[in-house]
Amino acid sequence: MEVDQAELDAYHRAIDRIDDLEALEMICRLRRTHPLLTKRFRIMVHLAETLPENQALFVSSEGGRLRALSAFATGAIHSTAKLIKGWLLLRKLHD
């Protein structure tokens, strides 16, 4: 993958200035900005899924509607908070 210098500079600026890259990546993925950052995160998640010690974080082997609903609600709240924080961090990055 060939990356132009401006995109590479933006990536390094984000790494240097932002403390919560997960939040920044979420908003960048939604807004389709900073593609290098979002591609790197996608690769890291795919690699993390392959490690046996991380399987419980990605695969649910226990069922139950209440447990599923609870996991969904928790995930939705977490994601919403990260999106809001990411939006604020994106503004900080461009200041």
Taking the chain (95 residues) in runs of 10, the rounded mean pLDDT of each run is 84 90 92 91 90 78 78 92 94 84
pTM of the model: 0.73
For residue 9, CA distances in Å to 6, 35, 38, 69, 86 come to: 5, 12, 15, 41, 19
Residue-level pLDDT at 55? 79
* pLDDT computed for residue 72 by the predictor: 87
Give the residue extent of every domain in the chain: 5-93
pLDDT of 2: 78
Q: Is 59 exposed, middle or buried (0-12, 13-18, 19+ CB in 10 A)?
A: exposed
Residue 29: per-residue pLDDT = 92
